[in-house]
Amino acid sequence: MNRKQLAVNALIKYIAGLIIIALLLFVPAGTLHYPNGWLFISLLFIPMLMLGLVLLVKSPSLLEKRLKSKEERTAQTLVVKISALAFILSFITAGIDFRLDITCVPRGMVAVAAVILLVSYALYAEVMRENAYLSRTIEVQQEQKVVDKGLYSIVRHPMYAATVLLFLSIPLVLGSWISFAIMLVYPFAIVLRIRDEEKLLLKELDGYAEYTEKVKYRLIPFIW
């Protein structure tokens, strides 16, 4: 895929994602006057656009890998479905929660969650800078090497750690405790994903077994 085709493909997915999330939030809310919804969209899609432009210029191959989404492993397909369902239900319930005024996250906590969302996205970007082999699907690529520097020297799956922070901050930015309760499914789905992914890496990636001895924790330092 040449750079122009990649840019068009990325832009289409970006716009489609923006439209889908807007529909999932504002239709259940019954109004466009949903300040937390607009806050979340700004916090997510502006950095996403900036990161995409950087990858397009500096690492188009990595951007292309990040656009790939079809999983081949059965266990991973299940995890993706669970995560997508939690994601969709969390957005819909946040909109309904706002519409019916069922729960309310204090403004101070919304502000803290907004900072956590931005920090987690920055960590996500740093992981991509450190690891050129990142793909959205579970696979071992040709000539892939173990990355054990930077964030990878702290936990074995820093990208997943960043996404857990990101996903758990989203419902709080949206101002809904009900949405947050639903999104708690996501960390458990990530644990399943990591367990299956490590089976593949231990089997097919040279040096990964030694890496697991060096870096003990998968997701959270001193816990797991």
Residue 219 inside a domain? The answer is no
DSSP label at residue 30: T
For residue 203, give the 3-state DSSP assignment: helix
Q: Per-residue pLDDT for the chain (224 aa), expressed as one digit of tens each?
A: 677 788 888 888 889 989 999 999 999 999 999 999 999 999 989 888 888 887 777 777 777 766 665 555 566 677 788 888 998 999 999 999 999 999 999 999 999 999 999 999 888 888 877 776 665 544 555 556 777 788 888 888 888 899 999 999 999 999 999 999 999 999 988 888 888 888 888 887 788 888 888 888 898 888 88
CB count in 10 Å sphere of residue 10: 20
User: How far are the Cα atoms of 11, 20, 55, 56, 208 from residue 6, in angstroms, in the given order?
Assistant: 8, 21, 11, 8, 31
**Nearest C-alpha neighbor of 194 from the set 181, 212, 179, 210:** 212
Is residue 220 a part of any domain in this protein? no
Cα gap 168→79, rounded to integer Å: 17
Flag whether 136 is in a domain.
yes
Tell me if 223 is assigned to some domain: no
pLDDT of residue 106: 95
CATH code for position 208: 1.20.120.1630
Is 224 a member of any domain? no
Helix or strand run (H / E) with residue 155: none
Q: How many domains does the chain have?
A: 1
Q: Are 37 and 95 in contact (CB under 8 A)?
A: yes
Residue 159's identity, in one-letter code, is M
pTM of the model: 0.83
Q: Which tokens belong to 185?
A: 């499914």
Q: Where in the sequence is the domain holding 170, given as residue range(s)? A: 3-214
Residue 189 domain-assigned?
yes
Angstrom distance (rounded) from CA 131 to CA 129: 6
